[in-house]
Amino acid sequence: MAVLEWKKFDFFNLKENVSESATKLLTGEEGGSGEITCIASGQSQKVLCDSNGSVFIFYRNWKQHNVFQAHETGTPIVLCEVTQLNNHLVTVGYKGLTAEIKIWNLAKARNRQVPCLKSFKSTIQRQKPTALAVVNNGVNSQIFLALGFERGDLVLYKGDPTKSSDFSYTALAIFTISSKKITGIAFNLIGKSCHLFICSDNGILSYEFNSQLQLQQNSEKEFSKIILDRKSEPSRCCTLQKDQDSYFLVGRDDAIYCFTSDGRGPCYALDGQKVLIKCFGNYLVTVLKTNKPQPINKDYTLIVIDILNKFKVFSSPIEEITGIFSDDSGSNNGCFLLSKSKIIYHLNEKDLESKLSLLFKKKLFDIAVKISKDHKLQKEESDEEAMAEIYKLYGDHLYFKGNYNASVEKYIKTIPFLEPSYVIKKFLDSRHISCLVEYLQALSDAGVASDEHKKLLKNCFKRLELPNKIESPAHSPIEDGENLLLSTDLESMREILQEMSSIDVEVLMKNNACEITKKDPLEAVRLFTGICEDHPDIEPDFFIPYFSKDQRKELIEFLEYFINKTDNETVYNTLIEFYLQQFSENKTDEDSMLEKLTVFEGKYNKEFVLILCRFYKFWPGILYIYEEKDLHNLSIRYYHQRKDYSNMIKSCETFGNNNPNLWIQALNCSDSKDSNALPTNVLLQVLGVISREKLLSPLQVAEALCVENGPKVGQLKDYFLQMFKKENETLTQETDEVRNLRNDVISLTDYIQNCKENPLEFGNTFCNACNQPLTLPSIYYICRHAFHQDCVKNYSANEKDCSVCMKDNLHLNELIQRSTSHVEEHDSFHNVLDRSKDHLQVLSQYFSRGLFNKICIVDETGQSSPPPVRLQTRNIETARDVARDLPKPTVSLNPFGEDEDSYDKEKNPFENDDDTSDHGIGNPFEVEGYDSNLNPFN
Amino acid sequence: MSYAYLFKYIIIGDTGVGKSCLLLQFTDKRFQPVHDLTIGVEFGARMITIDGKQIKLQIWDTAGQEAFRSITRSYYRGAAGALLVYDITRRETFNHLTTWLEDARQHSNSNMVIMLIGNKSDLDSRREVKKEEGEAFAREHGLVFMETSARTAANVEEAFINTAKEIYEKIQEGVFDINNEANGIKIGQQLPPTNSSISGSGNQGGQTNGGCC
């Protein structure tokens, strides 16, 4: 049945061994010898019976317990059941001849003592009892008790165990149901009629009888028999689901069939041999025996099905399970399972949030909605907002998939929690106008539509040429205002406007502000400030365009009124523009002008003001903004042009830490055409910093300074001599290191060769772990470490590795791994390269990791496996990019002709590269398929 | 809720023809565009009134998948009516009708009323099976025929009720043995005679009782 499967989710957690103390008790002295044969769960306790006749009762989440001997030692208790109403425990012991039935009062249980209410023997002999069901009569403490046997007989008892005389020791009725064993019995009491479900391998049937039935031997007439199923198929387990429709569930190999008292109900197809089934809440827990190979000891599969929604909500391999305790008090606590090895499992439902997030991940929003609705029904709490959130995600998902009509349906369900603009924004495209209309209509139907929404809806209707269903928002106040404006004077105007809504005022002013300013600018300023105060959502910049050119003074007055009262950028921008205008006309004090800029700090748009300052050539202002905007290179260029070297060095020093390029900028200024070479002292200062911070290589410096009107060589001689000396030192250092490493490689190769070809002698006398003389049994490692076998077990987790060398080996392994595992290293390489100061070092580092060549890794089996070719064109480009930044070591271009004699060819790292025919070992970019024409070094 | 009769129905047909949707439309009066595949057998019930009598319909909605055939077969017995559904937009579901019909006739009681239903009549533009073809098939095999749409609910109610009417007529004619529950018909809870004498003149339960005996 693999074609069709249940929807699978993981809504449960299975915790193993939740009560160690209970397991300890069951496997310990008292329970150790027996096997748990049957279990039952009562109101607050869980009952376990074993093959020795003992009963274990656990209370309160396995924390407390009680043990007592119910049947003779050695008599297995084959069946047990607890009556739900008065908490009586029924046990059935069977040892070969007759079954002994005992009824216990759990309500009066003391330590190791439980009062036995009744004890009697079954009338049917030499048959093993296989099924038991008990039910309270409902009216009084009478109980019905049905016992099924292995050859198909069933005995029904009735009686009141609390009254010594009343309980019938003989059977109320005896039926022979089938020739095969009865696998399950269940009572279902509805009012006065009682249904008795019987499940056997020969079929399933139910008896209906009046629960007030009096004792009459074998009066089968009183029982109306309904055959529910005649199929002779193994039915291994059954259970009664009481919550909804009282289905009797029978687990067969192909499916779980439900039966009502008079016929078939639904069925759940689930392939597999069912061992146990049990219901709790909406869930059906079943244990299947699996034939497929499973992890050790887990030959069974635990499956939980959500009957209501038809999901498989949990599935996991599990060991053999003896019984399932279903908690009748509610599904919230989940249920407990007892394995054959006496370990207790707890199956617990996940909380709603984690379920939902699981579903969101899978984009199963419809199910999320369903589940949270169910959850809400159960909890009787309504969290509309959370639902709206789910609908929003659902809508987003549908929208993303292009199913706009469906998504708008979901969005409508988010009203009134979701901000309408979120949805409107999505459907503004004219293609989705019908969706938009639908949403807006729903908004206005819900009574949460604002005037804007209504306006939009109206426009949509107009567009679709539909009759307008929405009354338009009132326009009358504006018209009124317009009339007033013409008639009344400006002073009383403010009072009238105060009454109007901001939007109306805005519209009104848009039409009339020009008129007002023309009429009386001063009055207009007063009116406008008044409007701005009365209507905080009308910004002062709204009025700026209505002042004409020659009303600048009034406008400044108007704007100055709002200094520190508003955050509107335009107000400050405009104000500064006017100040600068005044400044350029009157050439007023630069300092006072600058002060104004600093006062308005952070309130104006800096880019805009920068343009203004440039326009009005207000240099202090420009510099001020450069500094504010971190445009130090521009200020350095300015200083340089002004030959203000002290300021230039100062700003280089102040900001150079964060932006070292400033120094390079300072150096480069000297190549500007207007022969503005830096004075020697400044130049040396700059170069000093550059060499200290390794901002540029000497060749780059040389290239930068090698320009027309550049500084004289004499000025730079000291710098270059110093640099050469330093480089020389590093060169010798590194040559030494290379030599050392080469030697190491040679010695290691020798060692490996030695290990491979020559016999190794193990002469260890001491254990490397405990430093005691070695005794047998001992383990020798090829690294010449030796241990006692016991020491190895104690000190290392893995006998394969020498615990002394393991740390180093792990480190080495990690290095190898790192060099090979990152297929995506190109990106990180680029990142590192961009950030680093010393490109060559990064290059060589990555070269050593094998980023540029094919490498072979010899794994443990000795087979070499070539990793995928990781070199892509991008790498070659990278190498070229880097190389472009590097100096070009051509002799003819050597600017230091005077030093030619002392030039040591052997020390030139690029010496080999001059020879085009030679791609020796030294070429880090040597790869297969390499195009020598692309090599910038040639 | 008391009823005069209980009729048991079974809905059969290829997978995806809309069996579950028909049931959902009939019992819950709603349509679900995306319905999960039925795994096993689902169960629904609704009360209808025929001839002034309350009749409870209990409906088994079966899985159409071939793999579940053995499970669903056990449900034929014990059904008084069957809705055999095909999809008018998929020719092959119509072609399979003969197999379904054979299966149903073989496993059910001979008196079972079978109604042929061509579902998805709202998708007329994609129609592959003409209405006349369905009518011809029904005539040939002695079935009642109807085209329905679970989406628009067109004819859904009628399909279930017409089947019930047919069964009811057969009962009146005495074709069905109503005391054999394996036929898929059950007489409603009969009120004890003492009770009916107290409540006075003939209530429905009493009437039914009289009519049947």
pLDDT tens digit sequence for A262-283: 788 888 888 888 888 888 877 8
Indicate the residue of B8, B67, B68 with minimum beta-carbon distance to A263: B8
- Local confidence band at B209 (pLDDT 50, 70, 90 cut-offs): very low
pTM: 0.56
Instruction: List, as one string, the DSSP characters of A341-391.
Output: TS-EEEEEEPPHHHHHHHHHHTT-HHHHHHHHHHHHHHHT---HHHHHHHH
Indicate the residue of B40, B78, B181 with minimum beta-carbon distance to A269: B40
CA–CA gap between residue B62 and residue B13 (Å, rounded): 8
Q: Is the pLDDT of residue A332 over 80?
A: no
Mean pLDDT of chain B: 83
Beta-carbon separation of A310 and B39 below 8 A: yes
Would you state the structure tokens that stand for residue A748, as one six-digit string?
A: 């290691």
| Degrees, nearest 5: CA angle A462-A465-A468 | 60
Q: Is the pLDDT of residue A871 over 60?
A: no
Q: How much of chain A exceeds pLDDT 90, in percent? A: 2
- Local confidence band at B181 (pLDDT 50, 70, 90 cut-offs): low
User: What does the pLDDT read at residue A885?
Assistant: 46
Beta-carbon separation of A231 and B74 below 8 A: yes
Task: Quote the strand ranges of A819-884, DSSP E.
Answer: 857-858, 864-865
Beta-carbon separation of B181 and A263 below 8 A: yes
Indicate the residue of B39, B60, B70 with minimum beta-carbon distance to A268: B39
* Number of CB pairs, chain A paired with chain B, less than 8 A apart: 55
A688-710 pLDDT tens trace:
777 777 777 777 777 777 766 66
B8 touching chain A per CB within 8 A: yes
Instruction: List, as one string, the DSSP characters of A8-38.
Output: E---EEEES-S-HHHHHHHHSTTTTTS-EEE
The 8-class DSSP code of residue A468 comes to: P
Beta-carbon separation of A310 and B58 below 8 A: no
User: What does the pLDDT read at residue A228?
Assistant: 79
Q: Is the pLDDT of residue A858 over 60?
A: no
| Degrees, nearest 5: CA angle A655-A659-A661 | 115
Q: For A486-507, what is the mean pLDDT?
A: 66
B1 touching chain A per CB within 8 A: no
User: What does the pLDDT read at residue A331?
Assistant: 46
Who has greater pLDDT, A732 or A114? A732
Q: Nearest CA to B78 among B8, B175, B19, B13?
A: B8
Who has greater pLDDT, A755 or A858? A755
**Chain A nearest-CA residue for B63:** A269
- For residue B40, list chain A residues with Cβ-Cβ distance below 8 A: 255-256, 266-270
User: What does the pLDDT read at residue A213?
Assistant: 64
- Local confidence band at A886 (pLDDT 50, 70, 90 cut-offs): very low
User: What does the pLDDT read at residue B203?
Assistant: 39
Indicate the residue of B39, B75, B186 with minimum beta-carbon distance to A6: B39
B117-142 pLDDT tens trace:
999 999 989 899 999 999 999 999 99
- For residue A267, list chain B residues with Cβ-Cβ distance below 8 A: 40-41, 71
Q: For A305-330, what is the mean pLDDT?
A: 80
Task: Quote the strand ranges of A771-919, DSSP E.
Answer: 778-780, 786-788, 857-858, 864-865
Indicate the residue of A264, A268, A310 with minimum beta-carbon distance to B60: A264
- For residue B36, list chain A residues with Cβ-Cβ distance below 8 A: 7, 310
Q: How far apart are the CA of A204 and the nearest CA of chain B, in angstroms?
A: 13
Q: How much of chain A exceeds pLDDT 70, in percent? A: 74
SS3 content of chain A, % helix, strand, coil (to 5): 45, 20, 35
CA–CA gap between residue A731 and residue A735 (Å, rounded): 6
CA contacts within 13 A on the Cβ side of A804: 15
CA–CA gap between residue B29 and residue B10 (Å, rounded): 19
Of the residues B23, B28, B43, B189, the best mutation for testing chain A's interface (the one with the most A CB atoms within 10 Å of its CB) is B43
**Contacts for B132 with CB less than 8 Å, ≥ 6 apart:** none
Of the residues A254, A267, A310, the best mutation for testing chain B's interface (the one with the most B CB atoms within 10 Å of its CB) is A267
Q: How far apart are the CA of A258 and the nearest CA of chain B, in angstroms?
A: 10
Residue A596, helix vs strand vs coil: helix
Beta-carbon separation of B36 and A310 below 8 A: yes
Q: Is the pLDDT of residue B160 over 50?
A: yes
**Chain A nearest-CA residue for B34:** A366
User: What does the pLDDT read at residue A334?
Assistant: 75
Q: Is the pLDDT of residue A181 over 80?
A: yes
User: What does the pLDDT read at residue A823?
Assistant: 53
Q: For A535-542, what is the mean pLDDT?
A: 74
- Local confidence band at B84 (pLDDT 50, 70, 90 cut-offs): very high
Q: Is the pLDDT of residue A620 over 80?
A: no
Q: Is the pLDDT of residue A42 over 80?
A: no
A191-240 pLDDT tens trace:
777 888 888 888 888 888 777 666 554 555 667 777 777 777 777 788 88
Beta-carbon separation of A267 and B34 below 8 A: no
Q: Is the pLDDT of residue B156 over 90?
A: yes
Q: For A886-901, what is the mean pLDDT?
A: 44
Q: Is the pLDDT of residue B161 over 70?
A: yes
Residue A689, helix vs strand vs coil: helix
Who has greater pLDDT, A259 or A565? A259
Q: Is the pLDDT of residue A532 over 70?
A: yes
User: What does the pLDDT read at residue A103?
Assistant: 87
- Local confidence band at A3 (pLDDT 50, 70, 90 cut-offs): very low
A724-747 pLDDT tens trace:
888 899 999 999 999 999 999 999
- Local confidence band at A714 (pLDDT 50, 70, 90 cut-offs): confident
**Chain A nearest-CA residue for B184:** A263
Q: Is the pLDDT of residue A584 over 80?
A: no
Q: For A738-761, what is the mean pLDDT?
A: 88
User: What does the pLDDT read at residue B119?
Assistant: 93
- For residue A263, list chain B residues with Cβ-Cβ distance below 8 A: 8, 58, 78, 181, 186
Instruction: List, as one string, the DSSP characters of chain B.
Output: ---SEEEEEEEEESTTSSHHHHHHHHHHS---SS-PPP-EEEEEEEEEEETTEEEEEEEEEE--SGGGHHHHHTTTTT-SEEEEEEETT-HHHHHTHHHHHHHHHHHS-TT-EEEEEEE-TT-GGG--S-HHHHHHHHHHHT-EEEE-BTTTTBTHHHHHHHHHHHHHHHHHHT-S-TT-GGGSEEEPPPPPHHHHHHH-S--HHHHHHHHH-
Beta-carbon separation of A265 and B186 below 8 A: no
- For residue A269, list chain B residues with Cβ-Cβ distance below 8 A: 39-40, 63, 68, 71
A146-173 pLDDT tens trace:
888 888 888 888 777 777 655 555 566 6
